Structure 1
Amino acid sequence: MTHCEFDHHTAEFAADPWRVYRDLRQRCPVAHSTAYDGGFWVLSGYRDVRRCTLDTGVFSSAADDLLIPAENPGRLLPVQADPPLATAYRRVINPLFTASAVAAMEPHIRRYVDQALDAFADEAELVADLALPVPGKVTMRLVGWPEQDWPDVVLPIRAFSTHPVGSPERDTAGEQLAAIRRRVADDVRGRRAGEPGNDLAARLAAGTVQGRPLTDDEAVDTMMMVLFGGVDTTVAAIGNMALYLDEDRELRRRLVERPELVPAAVDELLRYQAPVQGFARFVTADTEVGGQRIGRGEKVFLAWAAANRDPEVFDDPDSVRLDRRPNPHLTFGIGPHRCIGATLARAELRIVLERMLARIPDYRVDWGAVEPTVSCGTTFGRQRIPVYLTRDRHRGEGKQRAERA
């Protein structure tokens, strides 16, 4: 058995996870860490991660907790289920995430972004002023809650995912998440009792899986997944992209001049700095991965972010290339558990980037004041990204002067 010292909740890891992943891939792509829960396996090579993600029979998601260390903030469906049940749960909410549904959402996303940018002065903090409210309002619209309620949902989810287990901040966030869960449960019960509403709770109250109605718990678990999935990874990705484009101002100039390249940039930046680091799976039968024997009952961490930089699959993986075709990154997962909101997330990120480049193309990051998250065990992002900016408030559209490196 190959052992490694891998702890994805440390400040050292949060500062540069890519160096840690590179070392793992080179020395021990299938390694055993002794941290947490009696230890777990870490998979960092693309082919191993892809294979095990697709093998839902041996590498199961049907568990009370997919986090390392074990901590159950409440079951999330269909994430914590295996096919065919997971597929049945997805069918209930699929209509929210179709291409036509996302297209209908785009004017609202654009409005949310412009509202945020309208409030910018000569200085701004991109996380608090843009990256948090935009996905927050989108998610509120998705589930049918008032837009102004976004901080009540977004801030607890953000705190939970960016602080380590046992910290006061995470404990407080856990209590707030329990309150959100109670609100969801009240909505579901109300819709079942005949309270009017054309929202996600109503859809779930009327939903069926495998020929039977969803239980109250299943309905609540599914709505909680939509809330979780709609928030923190998009928040992190917005910040990551803004930071990278301040480092690579030549790429920023190209995107300002050729906005049709923005979708390719979004996809490549999602590969380059995946906001979701990975998820755990539980092994249901003795198996072998990369020459290592893994026993039934053990836990495996599938490091999608590490797989995205595997040089056996991606040429020059530590560089951002808009001509990367194909780009089979695993940022949204793969197979039956591929992120159901991937199309919506891409639309949000594209619109945020388009509007930033049109309206504040000259923004500059105050790098000395950038703060990483305390922990990135769940998502990789930053806590604060202060920026200085110039822009013409009256020219929201059109070509503006680009920053020239």
Structure 2
Amino acid sequence: MRAAVVTKGEFRVEDLPTPVPGTGQVLVNVTRCGICGSDLHARLHCDELADLAAATGYDNFMRSGQSIVLGHEFTGDIVEYGPGTRRRWQTGTPVVAMPIVRQGRAPQLTGLSAAASGGYAEQVVVQESVTLAVPNGLSADHAALTEPMAVGWHAVRRSRIGKGQTAFVIGCGPIGLAVISMLKAAGVRTVVASDFSPRRRELATRCGADVVVDPGTESPWGASPKKIRINGANDLLNLAFDAMDKLTRVPGVPWWYLFRAAHTFQQGPAGPVVFECVGVPGMIDQILTDAPPMTRVVVVGVCMQTDTFHPATAINKEIDVRFVLGYDPGEFRDTLHMIADGKVDPSPLITGTVGLDGIDTAFTTLASPEHHAKILVDPRSDRTTP
């Protein structure tokens, strides 16, 4: 099979042996594979990523001296089953799969490990247990976006945002756009998106953002059509006085019982939810400084450098900070069906397609935010520019 192989940051297209599915695995003909920001990082900074992965207990992340087939946002058609499989679908059935396989009890990240070649190839091996048939005749272009859209869905779910809360999405790259799309699918009524790039602001609007701002000229915090009730320490302290004035007038019910009930059912004052989708040093601290009290910050952007922030700022405002990664099988499945059922439209993210010989050019193009968001790889296409 033909595949795009990267070694020490350089791509070349090679003819490789056809992968052989192992126990519980399936061989798939790749029809589309998305280029992810993680791939851009891994191409040039995989040794640093590998060190970070090893520190969290995963020792098989790719290294720069290895020859790797990248690509973990893929869809394709069933070709052949390995031993110990349930053979759940007929040959030719279009599927998507979580990008992870298992060798014995050792998990391998597909497209990010030398032991699990990825989707920048004509064929890829997947684990049957985390493979799903593509429903409703969904196109390969849209099915391939199941994986990045699932990242957005996981972030939205982990945020525990209510429909009436205001969401701020800081950074409108592919993951920021996925978060915006999933917030609107979840019924969140007010989504404010912020990005310096005019192109990305345009895509944020197409993904459903209610307000889109250029942070170089306008603060996102003042752009929300819904007034933020608690803007500072005085508002927070006055809230205690106002609450006590009202609760102590309720006859026959000790006011502290009402506070306990509010705590039990997690009711009470709540600020907006901010999704940090930039991943550069200083961004978390900037959000903690500028965001109103009682904000919940969900960190989705991956910052590769050491970063600092002022804990006292978050303490004084009682801001929650939550870090998220990936998704679980249920979220992956639900994302696929939300796309297939028309509840989520990933098409604004797709801005170009290349064949295997165009991957190097696509990576270079994606370095600029003004042209593309998500470029798909069609292994059987002869396109060399997106």
Q: Structure 1 length normalisation: TM-score? A: 0.25
**Higher Cα radius of gyration:** 2
- Per chain length, whose mean CA-contact separation is higher, i.e. which structure has more relative contact order (CA < 8 Å, sep 6+)? 1
TM-score of the two chains, using structure 2 as the length reference? 0.26
Q: Where is the strand percentage greater, Structure 1 or Structure 2?
A: 2
Higher helix share: 1
